[in-house]
Structure 1
Amino acid sequence: MASSVNKLKQAKALRQLQIDHIEELLVLAQASVIDESLHVRFNLRCECLEKIYVEFQKQHEVIVSLSSIMEAPELEDEKNYSNHLS
């Protein structure tokens, strides 16, 4: 059980990392509206967006799977977590 708990914590941390990347991209997008010199940097970061989303989905699936095995009470919250990003 401890192994599953550690895997769950790790998957949540990795999923949060992807969310952080998306939030950083949003901040950069907002800044690039004002500062045209940031457009190139923004465009380069956008190229990674699909990869970030795929990794988010991967970690989210691990979280939902482990939560259901462990019968975690927050399972419903986890199932709906990705719906907010769609």
Structure 2
Amino acid sequence: MIWYDYFGYIGSFLTSITFIPQVYKAWKTKSVGDLSMWMMLIVITSATLWLIYGIGINSGPVMVANSMVLLMALILVYFKFSFKQ
């Protein structure tokens, strides 16, 4: 592994955890009324495209980060439709 790969993995880890506080708060409060569906659709589209790109160039950090972001965004969208507003 090249030294700058470590930066990629650290960056992908930090990117991956950005949605965890929001997912946790939504789960605890059962409230996602203020969550923008447009933002979530943009995040899902972006993460999907980045994931495809990461697979194409075989980049672990890109695949890890965007897989996690995609998962968290999909969970939030699920919450958006599941929780009563």
TM-score, normalization by structure 1: 0.43
- Normalized per residue, the structure richer in helix is 1
Larger Cα-atom Rg: 1
User: TM-score with structure 2 length normalisation?
Assistant: 0.43
Q: Which has the higher contact order (CA 8 A, sep 6+)?
A: 2
